[in-house]
Amino acid sequence: MATAAAASRVAVSAPVFGSDGGARSSGIKGNNNVSFGSKSWVGGTLAWESSCSVRPRRASKVLCMSVQQASRSKVSVAPLHLESAKEPPLNTYKPKEPFTATIVSVESLVGPKAPGETCHIVIDHGGNVPYWEGQSYGVIPPGENPKKPGAPQNVRLYSIASTRYGDNFDGRTGSLCVRRAVYYDPETGKEDPSKNGVCSNFLCNSKPGDKIQLTGPSGKIMLLPEEDPNATHIMIATGTGVAPFRGYLRRMFMEDVPNYRFGGLAWLFLGVANSDSLLYDEEFTSYLKQYPDNFRYDKALSREQKNRSGGKMYVQDKIEEYSDEIFKLLDGGAHIYFCGLKGMMPGIQDTLKKVAERRGESWDQKLAQLKKNKQWHVEVY
């Protein structure tokens, strides 16, 4: 890792999502040699600048995911046969016969003022559990199922936070973005480890080299439609729900994918508690600088910002702020995606209904049409 004062060649340590959160760093030398894990690109493929500040592991393992591209050059990816499948891989590994993968890295994505820890977890599957952007992995934590003595734990699903090539761009890893689920007794205010999330804590406590039981990949609803490379994609996330969108955006703006040259508009709305809770923020900000005509990025920080009524700023408030634009884009065929806690949807639906009525439209009819046109994509947990 590099400190804030250092700008040297750095091996990437990449982080992730699931229903329960990681970080990555990158760097360059003057000769434009870039190292990602054990892989390097030399000469003008990339020009990235890194500045990371490393904190103690528990407080915030890595408070940086610096990906400031100095040029529009993209990263070469392999193996390209991952582009040839006509259908997404589904349930290659099932709960009764999971794949044993290996933890590569676990990094904190958040700062010390974030209300809870979110980790980026890179998993080495050796190319054996391929997936597409927008799919999920299942994780079986160690131990016995408390409701079925003698049986393994149930599978927990986590949206994958990387492209099919993984954070090392070689098709051998997948990344998850995992929020550590911690339970505090409402009376004492103290943590009760016996009620903490089993799988999220297992993942966030993992060390490089640890083994993990994977199932999947699963899911088709959040697959990125690529038939039209100039389409508009509106992405609305709360917390770790940003995971699939990180995969989309890396595919659009970071990777050199021969058969997908994105020229449309990607618009990300991300809702979190405060600035320290932002996930992959430097990565997204770099796209904003490099592709201002193709990427928009709006943040709703509920504990730092106020909405028009003076209340807390949530993603639905941002949607209302840009509602005319969003509705025009939807009328023009834009895809809209929602990912995060299921509690996000009622507020968003109410806002969209209110906006539609203000425009003299029936939201129910509009929603039915969006679903019929396959423009509406929802994955909440």
- Averaged pLDDT, 8-14: 33
Residue ranges, comma separated, of all CATH 2.40.30.10 domains in the chain are 80-218
| Residue 314 annotated as lining a ligand binding site | yes
As a whole number, the mean pLDDT across the chain is: 84
- Averaged pLDDT, 46-58: 34
Residue 175 annotated in active site: no
Catalytic residue among 19, 159, 162, 175: 159
pLDDT at 262: 97
Lowest mean pLDDT among 150-154, 181-185, 231-235, 280-284: 181-185
pLDDT more than 90, % of the chain: 75
| Residue 177 annotated as lining a ligand binding site | yes
Q: Is the pLDDT of residue 184 over 80?
A: yes
The pTM for the full model equals 0.81
pLDDT at 267: 98
Q: Is the pLDDT of residue 313 over 80?
A: yes
Q: Predicted confidence band at 72 (pLDDT cuts at 50, 70, 90)? A: low
Residue 158 annotated in active site: yes
Say which CATH superfamily domain 80-218 falls into: Translation factors (2.40.30.10)
| Residue 105 annotated as lining a ligand binding site | no
Q: Is the pLDDT of residue 135 over 50?
A: yes
| Residue 195 annotated as lining a ligand binding site | yes
Q: Is the pLDDT of residue 253 over 60?
A: yes
Q: Is the pLDDT of residue 128 over 70?
A: yes
Residue 159 annotated in active site: yes
Q: Is the pLDDT of residue 50 over 90?
A: no
- Averaged pLDDT, 208-231: 98
Residue 379 annotated in active site: yes
Catalytic residue among 137, 158, 287, 291: 158
Q: Predicted confidence band at 295 (pLDDT cuts at 50, 70, 90)? A: very high
* C-alpha separations of 201 from 205, 275, 327 in Å: 6, 23, 40
> Has domain 222-380 been given CATH number 3.40.50.80?
yes
Residue ranges, comma separated, of all CATH 3.40.50.80 domains in the chain are 222-380
pLDDT at 291: 97
| Residue 157 annotated as lining a ligand binding site | yes
Q: Is the pLDDT of residue 112 over 50?
A: yes
